[in-house]
Structure 1
Amino acid sequence: MNIQIINGPNLNLLGVREKSIYGDSSFESYLETLKSRYPQLNIAYYQSNVEGEIINKLHEIGFSFDGVVMNAGAYTHTSVAIADAIAAVKTPVVEVHISNVYKREEFRHHSMLAANCKGVIAGFGMDSYRLAIESLIAQ
């Protein structure tokens, strides 16, 4: 089973930025935990701060991978283009958020992507990614 994790803008700074919200671990260290927990899966990782690059990655893997775990960061709330890319591919996408976006600023309460995703997982810290993978395995 091939799972692609896609992280959007500023998530390359996990472990450094806003530790009270996002914790003090880098995503790369958590990725190693996921890979060791799921040795039967091929878990690929991609991060970009650029909207078009995220769309290109969805197009590249969206017909061949078994699932996508997507944390689009702030693009979640603004990107019709990423929402359209999710709708255009056949690979199921699970939207994830490390923080509980509903406890944060009002603009974070709406996702442009959610209607095109299999589901949304938010507020469980890095464990949101594991929960998303579990949902893809169970499909």
Structure 2
Amino acid sequence: MVTIRTFKMEELDEIIKIYIENFKDKTDNIEYTTNKFKKDVKRFTKLNIPGDILVAIEKDEIVGFASFILKGHWYFGPIAVNEKWRNRKIGEKLMEESLNYIKKAGGGLIRLTVQKRNETAIKLYEKFRFKISSYIMELEI
């Protein structure tokens, strides 16, 4: 049975492992994004910025996480589930608990970014009524 709870700072390295596993093929510079994510978590915690990281626990193991912060509006993400624990509705449970947290904190607009090719994540977000509101266009020259 999966349990969802707030993470502890000493679990950050476990969360980073799941982050790398999930995003190494979806970003051009996983080392940069990993270091940025780690620094952001420490900075937001130190500054007491509203938000949290929730972890999914199964058999005393962190099997997934979801993060969200309030910076003018709520920013959701990243969310990730360990590959061997996928297809067990863990992402849905993390999303549901994250949205409950945000509602209890007063709600408001929630934004997230997702890679266009990440169809699994897009389906999850659409299931929770997220809608596409803009596109980011890129040009490398």
Report the TM-score when normalising by structure 2.
0.37
Structure with the bigger RCO (C-alpha within 8 Å, sep 6+) is: 1
Choose 1 or 2 for highest CA Rg.
2
More helix by share: 1
More strand by share: 2
Report the TM-score when normalising by structure 1.
0.37
